[in-house]
Chains A and B, each alone.
Chain A
Amino acid sequence: MRQCSAIISPLVINKFFASAEAALADIPDGATVMIGGFGNAGMPAALIDALIAQGARDLTIVNNNAGNGDTGLAALLKAKRVKKILCSFPRQADSWHFDALYRAKEIELELVPQGTLAERIRAAGAGIGGFYTPTAFGTRLAEGKETRRIGDRDYVLEFPIHADYALIKADRADRWGNLTYRMTARNFAPIMASAAKCTVVQVRETVELGALDPEMVVTPGIFVKRVVKIAAPLQKAA
């Protein structure tokens, strides 16, 4: 038997992108985009800025909130690029851009209880077609939805939320897209990474393959397509 010659693949896996602009260039109009973060913790600010500059319109956005102040998601809303938002907590002291659009009926809101939002995202990433949750049973957020009594409890049928893109923030990444996070900035990022066809990650630091302890990897690279390093110091509250 002849020995095969060693295959040396030119296709080294490298998910690092040179810039946020390059990483988001192909987002089309009408895309569904998940954006990580809970308030400012874990918000991928550089990616959101790049999405604003990129110009895609009629977006459906999935985030826990509906923007704060005048930057980030709030600026994307203000630019009237979002036709619909799925979130659990739009009303905040500084959510004025969302408030104005909502009152003018210029944005559609799908209000989802926070745990149901998380589980619908998780379900999408896990290939689950739907699930029964006790949350919201008997409330107006369950109106029109299928319900079922299982054992001694009542449940509401909920469906997965899939996305075309997820924009998330992590702490460190290697070129395979393995990610670690920092504190409560993790929040929605790991499940959003699994639920989107194309997950783009803003990281504080990129490292050599092997530098991340495999036991400490939170999001394995299988869920990640593109990584952009954004040189920024660790965030400090203003």
Chain B
Amino acid sequence: MKKLDRNQMAARVARDIPDGSIVNLGIGLPTLVAEHLPKGREIILHSENGVLGIGPRPAPGQEDEDLMNAGKEPVTLLTGGSYFHHADSFAMIRGRHLDFCVLGAFQVAVNGDLANWHTGGADAIPAVGGAMDLAVGAKKVLVMMEHLTKKGESKIVERCTYPLTGARCVNRIYTDLAVIDVKADGLHVVETVDGLSFEELQRLTGVPLKRMLTAA
């Protein structure tokens, strides 16, 4: 079995983003998707802090502190891009104007519940940012995460043990082992990495998986 690395995961997500989409990429691993969007495809990236049409990272020395993404990293603006204030930015999110958001996760449950903002630890400082708005607002919520924790436990679970970000909101999960759709009747495996059988994935995952009828 050959696990996908972070860049391969990002490239796999990028492959599924159609031409013309408006997409919000979450902080961290999802931001990497931007670097793998196929050249020539016109995709508009949105960021919570009031920008549509984010372009590539600026060349060293060309950074501008007034032009950031939600991860507070310097970015550039594509021709055709626009700026707006925070209430408008979240109207776009909540108002179902984004085609996709890509979020990281601690856990996803069989029913599509998402946990990605808080470990629940007594001493942990909570921070939610825009994750709860994205979870309820984007037309499709894609999750990108490693399949297993460092201890080898499945991050796809029967019920989230971490505090929820959103209930029944995840549409598709991309891990370093598989692509899995969340549907009303359960989890459907779309594909697995080379050398990983459905049975082995099922053994690692621990919650019931279904074979996609028309597996690619």
Whether A141 is near chain B, meaning CB under 8 Å from some CB there, is yes
Known contacts A115-B93, A119-B90; is A237 also within 8 Å of B128 by CB? Answer: no
Taken together as a complex, chains A and B put the C-alpha atoms of A139 and B137 apart, in Å, by: 15
Interface string of A118-143 (1 = CB under 8 A from B): 11011000000000011111111100
Which chain A residue shows the least CB distance to B135? Answer: A135
- Size class of the contact patch on chain B: 35 or more
Q: Which of B12-20, B31-39, B66-74, B143-151 contacts A (4 or more CB under 8 A)?
A: B66-74
Whether A48 is near chain B, meaning CB under 8 Å from some CB there, is no
Q: Which residues of A contact B64 (CB under 8 A)?
A: 183, 234-237
Interchain CB contact under 8 A, B66 and A42: yes
Known contacts A42-B66, A114-B90; is A187 also within 8 Å of B130 by CB? Answer: no
Interchain CB contact under 8 A, A184 and B90: no
Taken together as a complex, chains A and B put the C-alpha atoms of A190 and B87 apart, in Å, by: 9
Q: Which residues of A contact B90 (CB under 8 A)?
A: 114-115, 118-119
Whether A175 is near chain B, meaning CB under 8 Å from some CB there, is no
Interchain CB contact under 8 A, B87 and A41: no
Whether A88 is near chain B, meaning CB under 8 Å from some CB there, is yes
Taken together as a complex, chains A and B put the C-alpha atoms of A187 and B125 apart, in Å, by: 24
Q: How many residues of A contact B (CB 8 A)?
A: 53
Known contacts A186-B50, A186-B83; is A88 also within 8 Å of B129 by CB? Answer: yes
The binding surface of chain B is classed by DSSP as loop
CB < 8 Å neighbour of B125 from A102, A183, A190, A218: A102
Interface string of A169-197 (1 = CB under 8 A from B): 00000000000011111111111000000
Which of B49, B137, B167 has the most chain A CB within a 10 Å cutoff?
A: B49
Interchain CB contact under 8 A, A111 and B128: yes
Whether A113 is near chain B, meaning CB under 8 Å from some CB there, is yes
CB < 8 Å neighbour of A114 from B48, B67, B77, B83: B48
Which residues of B are in contact with A by a Cβ distance under 8 Å? 47-51, 63-68, 72, 74, 77, 83-87, 89-90, 93-94, 118, 123, 125-133, 136-137, 163-167
Which residues of A are in contact with B by a Cβ distance under 8 Å? 38-42, 64, 88-92, 95, 98-99, 102-103, 109, 111-119, 121-122, 133-141, 181-191, 218, 234-237
Chosen A-B contacts, 22 in total, with CB atoms closer than 8 Å, are A90-B126, A91-B127, A92-B127, A98-B125, A99-B125, A103-B125, A109-B126, A111-B126, A113-B129, A114-B128, A115-B48, A115-B94, A115-B133, A118-B87, A135-B133, A138-B167, A139-B163, A139-B165, A140-B163, A183-B66, A186-B84, A237-B65
- Inter-chain pairs besides A41-B49, A115-B48, 4 sampled, C-beta below 8 Å: A103-B125, A109-B126, A135-B94, A236-B65
